[in-house]
Amino acid sequence: MAREKSGRRSGHSPFHLEFKNQAQKMAWGAFDQHDVLFLLGPAGTGKTYLACAFAISEILAKKKKRIVLTRPIVEAGESLGYLPGTFDEKVNPYMLPMYDCINKCVGLEGAQRDAINRAIEIAPIAYMRGRTFDDAVCIFDESQNATKSQLKLFMTRFGENSKIIITGDPMQSDIASGHRDLTNIVKKLEDVPGIGVIHFKASSIVRHPLISAIIEKFEEE
């Protein structure tokens, strides 16, 4: 598939974002139109990548001051047990997918890389109550593993000049209620002005071409 470059932020962004499918193009255009945006669909469709790319572009354009990252602390069917070390050392393993996306988005060096690093804040859900995030792009990754109360807590934290991006795959939850909670919340909120929903399909997967076929077979069960 031909890749279409984004010209929307070409005056601000040092990287050239290339859309690999129509859903990615729609999502990029929706960021400015909504203060809360859900990006939903299978793994490998570029949801987290797009969210991180948008957040980076906002920081470099000096439209936002912070990138707030969070995701549920849930292992995929396995228990890692007690993790020794500092707070950052305990949380970082769960945040690696988001760090990978940020590193993939940009090949920044020097002052620009430092600016992005300073802007990033890890905000575990357990420590989020009572906080307000102003001038920020707040990204909630893997939201299918969050409970209704966790999603509500996160979505009521953003303040002035902030945006919320929630990514998730309702068909790949690692908790019993994850699919139901995320699906029900989206149905309740999708008609609220200022809230948008972009759905990615298996055909939008941009990783190895076999992933699309694998996901389709699992969904047949």
Confidence of residue 11 (pLDDT cuts 50, 70, 90): very low
Cα–Cα distance measured from residue 102 to residue 188, given in angstroms and rounded to the nearest whole number = 31
113-138 pLDDT per residue, tens: 778 888 988 888 888 889 999 999 99
- The domains of the chain are located at 39-72+83-219
Q: pLDDT tens-digit profile of 158-210?
A: 899 999 999 999 887 666 655 678 889 999 999 999 999 999 987 666 655 56
Task: Work out the percent of the chain whose per-residue pLDDT is above 70.
Answer: 66
Q: Which pLDDT does position 168 carry in this prediction?
A: 93
Contact between 25 and 4 under an 8 Å Cβ cutoff? The reply is yes
**Confidence (pLDDT) at 118:** 87
What's the whole-model pTM score?
0.80
The whole-number pLDDT of residue 7 equals 47
Q: What's the CATH superfamily of 39-72+83-219? A: P-loop containing nucleotide triphosphate hydrolases (3.40.50.300)
Q: What is the mean pLDDT of residues 134-153?
A: 92
Which phi and psi (to 5°) does residue 110 adopt?
60, -130
For the chain, what percentages of helix, strand and coil (3-state, to nearest 5) are there?
Answer: 40, 15, 45
Instruction: State the pLDDT at residue 87.
Output: 58
pLDDT of residue 4 exceeding 50, the answer is: no
The more confident residue out of 173 and 69 is 69
pLDDT band for 213, please (50, 70, 90 cuts): low
For residues 147-151, average pLDDT: 89
Which runs of consecutive H residues, i.e. helices, occur in 61-204? 87-105, 110-119, 148-155, 178-189
